[in-house]
Amino acid sequence: MKRIPISTYVKLLCIGAVCFWLYTENTVFIQGVIEDETLTVGDKVRSISYEILGFNQGNVGQPEDIQPLSQPSSTDRDTSQPIQFTEEITNHPNYQKAREVAQRFNEQVDIIELNVAFLNRVNQARQEAGYPPVLLGDYLHHGIQNRVHQLAEYNYLSNQTLHGGDFRSMHPYVESAESRLSENLYELYISAGDIHLETWQNEEILADYLFEAYEASLMRPEVMDYQHQYVYVWLTPTDMNLEETPYVRLVVAVQLDNW
C-alpha cells in the first residue's frame, strides 16, 4: 500500500486552518446566509463565496473618463456624475481633518449591529401598520458594500454603478436580481465637527435617524411585499466649503429583496 506523503497532510492541515479562520472571521454573515430558508443552496454557496473569497467582483477598477475636480465646490454641486478630487483638494488641511473624522466613524460603526437596530425599527412600524415583518438580507452585504463605497469614493449619487450599469449588477449571486431588488439612496453633507457624528456611532441612535430619513419610502404600501432588507453606510471627506471648515459626506443605501 502506497503511503501518503507527509506534505499532503501538512497541506490539508493548512487548508483546514484557513477555512476555520475564514469562518470565525465571518461567523455572523455565514450563519445568517445558511439559516435563510428563502435562499436556494446555490444562492447560499454563491453568496458566501463572493463575500468571503471575493469571487466575481466584476469591473471594480476606475473608468478612464472619471472627471478630475481641482476646485472646491459649493453645497449645490450636481453629484449625479462620478468625480475624483485632485491633490489640490485632498492635500488641503480641512480635507485631511475630514478624512480623519470619516475614518474614525467608519471604524466605530458596526454594520451588522446597525442592520439589526434598523430592522427592529422598521418592523416596529410595520407591525403598527398591520404588516408582517421584513427579514435581514445578510446575503446582500457584499454587493451593497461595494455599491456604497463606489458612491462615496467617487463622490456621486446615481442609480447606476461606476461603470454605467444597473446597481443590481453588483449582486451577481442573486438569482433574477433585476426583478427582485430595489434600492433607496441617501446622502448628507455635515460639518466634521458636528456632534451627530459622535452620537451616531451608537448604532441604535443612527438607526433611529435613518428610519426617520427613510420612513416615507419604506412605509409605502407597494414596499410592504418585500421580504428582506439591508442597509449600509459610509462616511468620506468632501470638498464642500473647503476653505471654511472640514465637511464630510454620509452615503447610505437601503436595498430590498422581494424574495
Residue 29 scores a pLDDT above 60:
no
Contact 135/36 with Cβ under 8 angstroms?
Answer: yes
> What are the tens digits of pLDDT across the range 99-145?
999 999 999 999 999 999 999 999 999 999 999 999 999 999 999 99
Rounded to whole angstroms, the Cα distance separating 51 from 210 reads 25
CA dihedral 164, 165, 170, 173 (to 10 degrees): -160
pLDDT band, residue 73 (cuts 50/70/90): low
pTM, two decimals, is 0.76
Q: What is the number of H-type helices and E-type strands within the chain? A: 10, 6
> What are the tens digits of pLDDT across the range 175-213?
999 999 999 999 999 999 999 999 999 999 999 999 999
Length of the chain: 259
Sign, Cα dihedral of 156, 158, 160, 166: positive
> What are the tens digits of pLDDT across the range 147-185?
999 999 999 999 999 888 999 999 998 999 999 999 999
Contact 246/237 with Cβ under 8 angstroms?
Answer: yes
